[in-house]
Structure formats: structure tokens, C-alpha cells
Amino acid sequence: MSKFDRFGLGLAKGLALTGKTLLSRPNITVQYPEQRLDVSRRLRGPELVWVALKCTGCATCAKSCPQGSIELATSQELVDNKYEVVEFLVDHGRCMFCGLCVEACPFDALYMGRGYERAAYRRGDLVLPKEKLQMSADRQPSAYCRPEMEAELPLQTLLVYGQTRAKR
């Protein structure tokens, strides 16, 4: 701080700084629908991803859920020494995405997703049956609470300026 900062020079310095940004226009706002930030692949996103092949229907997830937002039913008879999961419903409108069910699942059959934009017009649309819970191009599992998955992920910086990518 120079001696003259208190004599009006400080004001001039401030004006010079903002004048510079006015002309150089560094723009840090992400134009959301057109531009998106890279989200972390370890994100505890607002959705669950369920892998039908691994699930045994043990219902540990449903019991561990503080919200009671998982509902599942298995077949009565054993098929190939296994109970078939006939119903697996997750009410995403009630879920608080705490991840307790993912942590509890002993067979790594349940993942947090890393999608967002999961809003719906009706509450009923947020209750997803097992077909919709499965992994798809749009519904990718995150590495939350899955250390073996996380180990394979590349190091990633998050929400850093310049890391935007256009999706469309």
C-alpha cells in the first residue's frame, strides 16, 4: 500500500482494476443448459443405481434406510438356489440421498448415481421401479463408497474454471 492510497490513489487503483475487467471480460459464469461443469465421478448424486445381477434380495438396504424409501419383494421359491427380486421400488421423492443403503449393501448391488437433472412434474414419477433403476448410458454409478471403483478413476479436478465442456 503506497503512501498516497489514502489520498485518492486507492480509488483510482480500484477503478483501474474494474476497468480492466470491463475490457478483458473474463467471464466465469457457466451458461448452464449449453455448458456444463464436469461433475465428480465420486458424487453422491440424487439417484440410486441398482444392479439386478448382483442383488440377492436380502433387503439390507431397505432396513438400513432411515426414510423407508426402498420397497422390495422377492419370489417365494428358490430359482437356481436364489430368490428372484420381483419388485424393487425406490421413492426418489422421499430419499434424502444419504447413501446409507449403498454403504449397507453386502453385495455391492446398489450404487449412488452421478446424474443430476432428476426433477419431475409429478411425485409419482419419482418412484422408480427396478427396470428404471438399472444402469444405462444416462444412469451411471458413482464411486461413492465403492473404493475398488474409485481406485480406477483418474484424478479429477472439480468445478474449476476452464473445465467446462459443451454437451450439445
Partner 1 sequence: MDWLHWLFYVGVILGAVPVMVMAFIWLERRGLGRLQLRPGPNRAGPFGILQPVADAIKVLTKEDIVPVAGDHWVHFVAPLVVFAPAMLVFTVIPFQEDGGLVRGLVPDLNIGILYIVAVSSISTIGVFMAAWGSNNKYSLISAFRSMAQVVSYEIPLALAILGVVLAAGTMSLTGIVQAQAVPFIVMQPLGFIIFFIAATAELNRTPFDLMEAESEMVAGYHIEYSGMKFALFYLAEYAYTVGISAIAATLFLGGWKAPWGVGPQVGVLWLVVKILLVFMVILWIRGTFPRVRVDQLMGFAWKFLFPLSLINIFIIAAESLAWPGLPWWLLFPNTAIALVLVVVWSGLFRLGGGRVQV
From residue 77 to residue 106, the character string flagging contacts with ligand SF4 as x (rule: CB under 6 A) and all else as - is -------------x----xxxxxxx---x-
Piece of 18-26, 90-98, 112-120, 144-152 that binds partner 1 (CB under 8 A): 18-26
6 contacts partner 1 (rule: CB under 8 A): yes
DSSP symbols for the chain: --GGGGGTHHHHHHHHHHHHHHHH-------TTTEEEPPPTT---S-EEE-TTT-----HHHHH-TT--EEEEEEEEEETTEEEEEEEEEETTT-----HHHHH-TTS-EEEB-------SSGGGGEE-HHHHS-BTTBPBP-TT-HHHHHHSPP---S-TT-EEE--
User: Residue 168 Cβ, how far from partner 1 at the closest point, in Å?
Assistant: 16
**C-alpha 73: how far from chain center:** 27
CA dihedral 100, 109, 119, 140 (to 10 degrees): 120
Which residue of 2, 29, 76, 157 would you call a contact of partner 1, by CB under 8 A?
A: 29
| Residue 65 near which of partner 1, ligand SF4, none (CB within 5-8 Å, type-dependent) | ligand SF4
| Residue 133 near which of ligand SF4, partner 1, none (CB within 5-8 Å, type-dependent) | none
Which residue of 56, 134, 140, 164 would you call a contact of ligand SF4, by CB under 6 A?
A: 56
106 contacts partner 1 (rule: CB under 8 A): no
Enumerate binding residues for ligand SF4 (CB under 6 A). Answer: 55-61, 64-65, 67, 69-70, 72, 90, 95-101, 105, 107, 109-110
Enumerate binding residues for partner 1 (CB under 8 A). Answer: 4, 6-8, 11, 14-15, 17-19, 21-22, 25-29, 31
